[in-house]
Amino acid sequence: MKLIIVGASGLVGGEVLALALADPAVEAVMAPARRATATTHPKLHAPLVDFDVLPSDAAWWKADAVVCTLGTTRRKAGSEQAFRRVDHDYPLAAAKLAHAHGTPTYVLNSAMGADANSRFFYNRVKGEVERDLADVGFRSLTFVRPGLIGGERDEFRAGERIGLAAFAVLAPVLPRRLRINPAGHIARELLHAALQPEPGTHVVESDRMI
Ligand SMILES: NC(=O)c1ccc[n+]([C@@H]2O[C@H](COP(=O)([O-])OP(=O)(O)OC[C@H]3O[C@@H](n4cnc5c(N)ncnc54)[C@H](OP(=O)(O)O)[C@@H]3O)[C@@H](O)[C@H]2O)c1
């Protein structure tokens, strides 16, 4: 099977990439990115792309499944509009191109609380991208919705570090759905949905990934 990973340079995307490259069921991985990757592997093709003008005629859009783990923070993006571009517009643009080339399955790393009607900006954008992806027409569509993601980042995110520390201490008394989701556990669910697609739309909630 051929897999497209959008966001393979990130924390969760990197875990999906490692699992996919090690999986004998995966023959080839396309990992379009805005920066060159240091990872080399005979199964990996990592074309450099500009996400504002994705190459609509690239043959690699034709695959068996897409896993999208793109995302940013409002602080890093610089504005709500820039955040929305990365967390909504880019995943949707990649979805439309992959679908137009015949790729039947799409799996999104979304977030707990995704809701197009939420009064919280982050949850609303995640809900809007889920809603708009549902209109693209994939045979199999899965939204994986982690809570707080655990794992080692190169970048320092103070709020997230504090949240992770607090959630780790509180874990024994927290409901399962509020516990930390290690990036590797999320990646396993994302890849499973890509490799064993079920027709229709599916949601994987955070309590499956602790
Ligand atoms: N942090 C949490 O606790 C949490 C909780 C629930 C859900 N989520 C969601 O889970 C998903 C994955 O999170 P993560 O922690 O793995 O993210 P991450 O480590 O920050 O990785 C994000 C990916 O998106 C790419 N990206 C970011 N801005 C971009 C831009 N302007 N143009 C092109 N590519 C861009 C990054 O590429 P570069 O390497 O080129 O920057 C990277 O591949 C995200 O959608 C996030 O919103 C996060």
Q: What is the pLDDT of residue 153?
A: 85
Evaluate whether 117 touches 127 at the Cβ level (below 8 Å): yes
* Residue 60 CA, ligand 1 centroid: distance in Å: 22
Per residue in 28-48, pLDDT (tens digit) is 999 999 999 999 999 999 999
Number of domains in the chain: 1
Range of the domain at 92: 2-208
Is residue 122 part of the annotated active site? The answer reads: yes
Per residue in 81-102, pLDDT (tens digit) is 999 999 999 999 999 999 999 9
Residue nearest to atom 44 of ligand 1 (CA): 71
The better pLDDT of the pair 154, 128 is held by 128
* Residue 82 CA, ligand 1 centroid: distance in Å: 13
- For residue 14, what is the domain's CATH number? 3.40.50.720
Per residue in 188-206, pLDDT (tens digit) is 999 999 999 999 999 999 9
Q: Which atom of ligand 1 is nearest to the CA of 7?
A: 43
* Residue 130 CA, ligand 1 centroid: distance in Å: 16
pLDDT at 68 over 90: yes
Per residue in 133-187, pLDDT (tens digit) is 999 999 999 999 999 999 988 887 888 888 888 888 888 888 888 889 999 999 9
